[in-house]
Amino acid sequence: MAQPKPWQSIPTNLTSAQFKEFVLPHLPIGSRGPQPKLLLHAIFNYILKLLYLGCQWKELPIETDKAGQPEIHYTRIYASLSAL
């Protein structure tokens, strides 16, 4: 079976360098409210994964931290998207 070319696939995970070059210049950076616990890069990758999977927000697979808890609640990702 033929392998898909890299430009033919939908990106679901950007590197930090790709995020800084292509996405970050177009994001408004807020000056109010608490700073997010995760980097904008990680939040954006969660949004890409959600769009690719087409799942509900609460079904989004979220990584766990050292304590075994989700590193961010799905509503925080939703709120970050709404703020854009």
Report pLDDT for 20.
94
Domain range list for the chain: 40-84
pLDDT digits (tens, 9 = 90+) for 21-56: 999 999 887 778 777 788 889 999 999 999 889 999
Q: Look at 84 and 21; give whichever has higher pLDDT.
A: 21
Average pLDDT, the chain: 85
DSSP string across 8-60? GSPPS---HHHIIIIIGGGSPPP-SSPPPSS-HHHHHHHHHHHHHHT--GGGS
48 and 42 Cβ atoms separated by less than 8 Å: no
Q: Quickly count: other Cβ atoms within 10 Å of residue 13's Cβ.
A: 13
The mean pLDDT of 77-81, rounded to a whole number, is: 80
Report pLDDT for 70.
93
| pLDDT band with cut points at 50, 70 and 90 for residue 77 | confident
